[in-house]
Copies of this chain bind each other. A is one copy, B any other.
Amino acid sequence: MSTSERMISGKEVAKHNSRESCWIIVHGKVYDVTDFLDDHPGGSKIILKYAGKDATEEYDPIHPPDAITTHLKPEQQLGSVDLNTVEKVEVTISDAEKARQERLNQRPSLDEILNLHDFETIAKLVLTEKAWAYYSSAADDEITNRENHAAYHRIWFRPRILRDVTAVDYSTTILGCPSSMPVYISATALGKLGHPDGELNLTRAAAKHGVIQMIPTLASYGFDEIRDAAAPGQNQFLQLYVNKDKAITKRIVQHAEERGIKGLFITVDAPQLGRREKDMRQKFDAEDPDNVSSSGQSGNVDRSQGAARAISSFIDPGLNWNDLKWFQSITKMPIILKGVQCYEDALEAYDQGCQGVVLSNHGGRQLEFARSGIEVLVEVVTKFKELRDITFPNEKFQLFVDGGVRRATDVLKAVALGATAVGVGRPFIYAFSSYGYEGVSKALQILKDEFEMNMRLLGARNLKEVVPEMVDAHNIHQHVVAVPGDRLYDSNYESMQTARLKEVKAKL
């Protein structure tokens, strides 16, 4: 990981500007990426554009801080450069980029943002295509991705009336840490893709609103930068992709504990990162067509994997239950398995001494046709009662769900069914992508407003009063697919029409 301290001039770097010898500058360091060109998951073209030049601005938002040092051998890390000697890269702004910048200027006032959906609408308009593809994409046909949201529509409320709801309190405690609401900011990667302040937007808004941020392994900012951005006493969790190199993992975990992290969420649903075809397709759309062989044959390297897989080759597919004891031996932080998808594994986690599980399918980005977390929650709660006589919510073994949440009503359904709290990811990304820190702050405020109102309407004064009887979830396990339509019949059927204005009729 160490880099040579040789000092190199910008002039010298500038000579290595070809496929034959390709050096680039990132954050003031010089790297020889000649041999890496064909292995770059994002293709060689984008690197060659910066051959002999400073690639920092391009590099930054789409790579975790240590990506380049991880992929290059020590001898390819040539030394430092005096940035004053480096010629600026002339940036030409494409028409598409100009249009995007114009849309940024046209963002509506934050006052007009009424719900979390609105952030997504604006983010889709103001994000770069690359960022939108990375953030929004999911596995295969993205059915699980959408099911995550749809599953909440199978749960309906049974509200109670005539309770004095003058004061409602939706605060709670998560793994011993107070939270202003039963929501935490889930870990999501590559925050700089959406905003220069990336994950720090989340840290600051979490502080303001008293919620807990889960710091991602694949953040655009380094762990310490994010931890440093926390307010005094602000609690954070850590999401961990387990590195094949145990030593690295140990160092990360123990460092996190030292820095006061309050919970270790080990991702267990991603031995390999999913194929996210929107992300992959975006890459091809951005690719130079000249670079493609006329035979229709692919080159010798499969570059069709999108951003997600490009940054995740270090993840250990061999991670297994035996490793859990090792984790327990190196840290006293509560250990939560993130990505549990059936009751059997939740039981195992409980039996092996975990402090909780996140029932999650990774935002629909991993296994297509994995069930939604909220559906698995119902199964888990039922089976824990049946097999261990345990009820939820439960201080000692906490259940979390994530995926598809857009409204406080979604969260309240999960709470009624036994969840301690719910993780929300993409909506907060979309919030900072469109409005930075203030966007995230507004998103959290919207949730608070929704909690206040909906708890009143439910007849619950605090989260303890949000009980199973308040929801009807008996349809949760129904995976209904309509019989394909009879297109001939449908095309013949002429729709009913309502009354028409006279002038309209006159024109018919």
How far, in angstroms, from A151 to B486 measured CA to CA in the complex?
A: 12
How far, in angstroms, from A125 to B110 measured CA to CA in the complex?
A: 30
Q: Name 7 A/B residue pairs within 8 A (Cβ), A-sorted.
A: A117-B492, A118-B498, A125-B501, A153-B486, A162-B321, A474-B477, A475-B481
Is the pair B110, A366 in contact by a Cβ cutoff of 8 Å? no
Instruction: Please give, as numbers and ranges, the residues of chain B lying within 8 Å of A371 by CB-CB distance.
Output: 156-158, 472
Known interface pairs A319-B164, A477-B474, A483-B480; A121-B368 also in contact (CB < 8 Å): no
Interface size on A, residues (CB 8 A): 136
Instruction: Please give, as numbers and ranges, the residues of chain B lying within 8 Å of A107 by CB-CB distance.
Output: 296, 501-502
Interface status of A75 (Cβ within 8 A of chain B): no
- Contacting residues of chain A (372-408) with chain B, CB-CB under 8 angstroms: 406-407
What copy number does this chain have within its complex?
A: 4
How far, in angstroms, from A146 to B481 measured CA to CA in the complex?
A: 11
For A497, the closest partner residue in chain B by CB is: B281
Interface status of A292 (Cβ within 8 A of chain B): yes
Instruction: Please give, as numbers and ranges, the residues of chain B lying within 8 Å of A164 by CB-CB distance.
Output: 317-320
Q: Which of A210-218, A230-238, A265-273 contacts B (4 or more CB under 8 A)?
A: A265-273
How far, in angstroms, from A220 to B271 measured CA to CA in the complex?
A: 45
Partner of A342, one of B159, B478, B483: B159
User: What mask results when residues 308 to 342 of chain A are scored 1 for a CB within 8 Å of chain B, else 0?
Assistant: 00000000011111011000000000000101111
Interface status of A464 (Cβ within 8 A of chain B): no
Is the pair A345, B161 in contact by a Cβ cutoff of 8 Å? yes
User: What mask results when residues 470 to 508 of chain A are scored 1 for a CB within 8 Å of chain B, else 0?
Assistant: 001011011111111111110111111111111111101
Interface status of A285 (Cβ within 8 A of chain B): yes
A316 CB to nearest chain B CB (Å):
8
A295 CB to nearest chain B CB (Å):
8
Interface status of A45 (Cβ within 8 A of chain B): no
- Contacting residues of chain A (75-122) with chain B, CB-CB under 8 angstroms: 103, 106-115, 117-118, 120-122
For A160, the closest partner residue in chain B by CB is: B345
Interface status of A170 (Cβ within 8 A of chain B): no
Partner of A153, one of B321, B450, B479: B479
User: What mask results when residues 137 to 153 of chain A are scored 1 for a CB within 8 Å of chain B, else 0?
Assistant: 00011110111011101
Is the pair A486, B143 in contact by a Cβ cutoff of 8 Å? yes
Instruction: Please give, as numbers and ranges, the residues of chain B lying within 8 Å of A424 by CB-CB distance.
Output: none
How far, in angstroms, from A114 to B298 measured CA to CA in the complex?
A: 12
Partner of A458, one of B367, B458, B478: B367
For A476, the closest partner residue in chain B by CB is: B479
Q: Which has the most chain B C-beta neighbours within 10 Å: A125, A274, A502?
A: A502
Known interface pairs A111-B284, A296-B109, A297-B110; A289-B481 also in contact (CB < 8 Å): no
A245 CB to nearest chain B CB (Å):
14
Interface status of A454 (Cβ within 8 A of chain B): yes
For A504, the closest partner residue in chain B by CB is: B106
Instruction: Please give, as numbers and ranges, the residues of chain B lying within 8 Å of A154 by CB-CB distance.
Output: 479-481, 483
Known interface pairs A166-B318, A296-B109, A457-B269; A482-B480 also in contact (CB < 8 Å): yes
Is the pair B407, A140 in contact by a Cβ cutoff of 8 Å? yes
Q: Which has the most chain B C-beta neighbours within 10 Å: A113, A143, A155, A268?
A: A143
A309 CB to nearest chain B CB (Å):
10
Is the pair B484, A143 in contact by a Cβ cutoff of 8 Å? yes
Interface status of A228 (Cβ within 8 A of chain B): no
Is the pair B484, A479 in contact by a Cβ cutoff of 8 Å? no
How far, in angstroms, from A312 to B232 measured CA to CA in the complex?
A: 40
How far, in angstroms, from A142 to B492 measured CA to CA in the complex?
A: 14
